[in-house]
Amino acid sequence: MSFSSLLGLPAGLQVLSFDLVNKVLIIQVASTACESACPGCQCHTSRIHSHYTRKAADVACGGRQVRLILHVRKFFCTNRDCPRKIFTERLTAFLEPWARVTTRLSQEIEAIGLATCGRLGSRLSIGTSRTSILRRVMKLATKTTDISFRRGRTFGTVLVDLQRHQILDLLADRQKETAAAWMKTHPEITHVSRDRGSEYASAASAGASQAIQVAARFHVAKTLSEAVQQLLARVLLEMKTADQGAEAATQARGDSLLPIEHWRPAQEESVKLTIATRRAERQERYQQVLGLCEQGLRSQEIALRLGMKARTVREWRNIGVAPDTRPRRT
């Protein structure tokens, strides 16, 4: 078995050498076809003009990224009536003209991108980033979903094969009768992915009663985001109502009320105990600092005696109050 067939290269491409550079497999490949067809007139010619090299990324081999260096040629077009005098050798189907990536790698990236929204591809040995994969996927999408008849005014129905990511048909309106009639002519339909409206639901029931109806991913996300927004609005309202009730109660006691931005869930008993213990320790330490201050000791000396930082001692002395009475940072 030749290296070319082992790597799945098309006929007419021959492997010259391999090299491993920085974990990338560099493969030198030469075109061996005797002649090439002019892209202008399709006439075949064997008159070589010059040689040059092209670089292209290819599908991974043994978990390694592959870079092909293709030794190809330019040909003279021998057809006198053809406007092209010189053309570059075509490796159609394997490598598009001007492409930097082989067709098979391009298809692999697109498939991975569509299946994983770009996340997985960047971890595989295909040497591409997540954004680059997403760009390819977006390119596919824009190629096949431009369906506006008259923007914002005239709406149609687009029928998409979600497994192959291809548009099947366009319907001139979005009436349920039209969609149902189309579905009746396609008994192979097993699932109908649709929006949340009743029109397409009844169209699917009438036209494809055998199919399971599911909500489209976009509409699932939309429903979820609306539900979360409603929940948050309700919780905020409940918190504000509770806040106002507490305000009335504390005003009677003359306490200051914690504004809603500082609201926190109630603490557990064990947490409360820990806080109270630490607070008592700090209070005792503060009294020791005060006592030593009265003896005329400097902050540095107090810090040394109590095993504290001099900066903390100075801070406590400057504030002139017990540390816990300071407001907490929010």
> Given the complex with Zn ion, which of 3 and 76 has the nearer CB atom?
76
Long-range contacts (CB closer than 8 Å, 24 or more residues apart) made by 262-267: 262/330, 263/239
By the 8 A CB rule, do 31 and 37 touch?
Answer: no
Cα 81-86-91 angle, rounded to 5 deg: 110
Please, which of residues 109-138 interact with Zn ion by CB under 5 A? none
The candidate with the shortest Cα–Cα distance to 115, out of 158, 65, 164, 159, is: 164
37 binds Zn ion (CB under 5 A): no
Of 69, 82, 140, 293, the one binding Zn ion by CB under 5 A? 82
45 binds Zn ion (CB under 5 A): no
What is the Cα gyration radius of the chain? 37
Between 84 and 222, whose beta carbon lies closer to Zn ion?
84
List C-alpha distances in Å: 7 to 11, 15, 18, 49, 62.
11, 9, 12, 29, 11
Contact between 322 and Zn ion (CB under 5 A)? no
Q: Rule CB under 5 A: is residue 44 a binding residue for Zn ion?
A: no
Q: Measured from the CB atom, is 33 or 82 closer to Zn ion?
A: 82
Of the candidates 27, 38, 112, 126, which one interacts with Zn ion according to CB under 5 A?
A: 38
Residue 283 in tokens:
């209070």
Contacts with Zn ion: how many residues (CB under 5 A)?
A: 7
CB-based contact 118:127 (threshold 8 Å) = no
By CB under 5 A, residue 79 contacts Zn ion: yes
Using a 10 angstrom Cβ sphere, with 0-12 exposed, 13-18 middle and 19 or more buried, the burial of residue 126 is buried
- Residue 84 is a binding residue for Zn ion (CB under 5 A): yes
* Binding of residue 89 to Zn ion (CB under 5 A): no
- Residue 97 beta carbon to Zn ion: minimum distance, rounded to whole angstroms: 15
Binder to Zn ion among 4, 24, 40, 202 (CB under 5 A)? 40
Told to check if 49 binds Zn ion by CB under 5 A, we report no
Number of DSSP helices (H) and strands (E) in the chain, helices first: 9, 11
Q: Does 88 bind Zn ion (CB under 5 A)?
A: no
Q: Which among 73, 78, 71 is positioned nearest to 88, based on CA atoms?
A: 73
Please name every residue paired with 48 in a beta bridge, in sequence order, or none if there are none. 75
Stretch that binds Zn ion, among 82-90, 102-110, 112-120, 263-271 (CB under 5 A): 82-90
Applying CB under 5 A, the span of 5-13, 33-41, 97-105, 113-121 interacting with Zn ion comes to: 33-41
CB of residue 54 to Zn ion, shortest distance in Å: 21
Give whichever of 39 and 127 is closer to Zn ion, judged by the CB atom. Answer: 39
Token digits for 81?
């009536």
Among 15, 41, 181, 216, binds Zn ion (CB under 5 A): 41
Please identify, using beta-carbon distances, which residue of 47 and 317 lies nearer to Zn ion.
47
Residues in contact with Zn ion by CB under 5 A are 38, 40-41, 77, 79, 82, 84
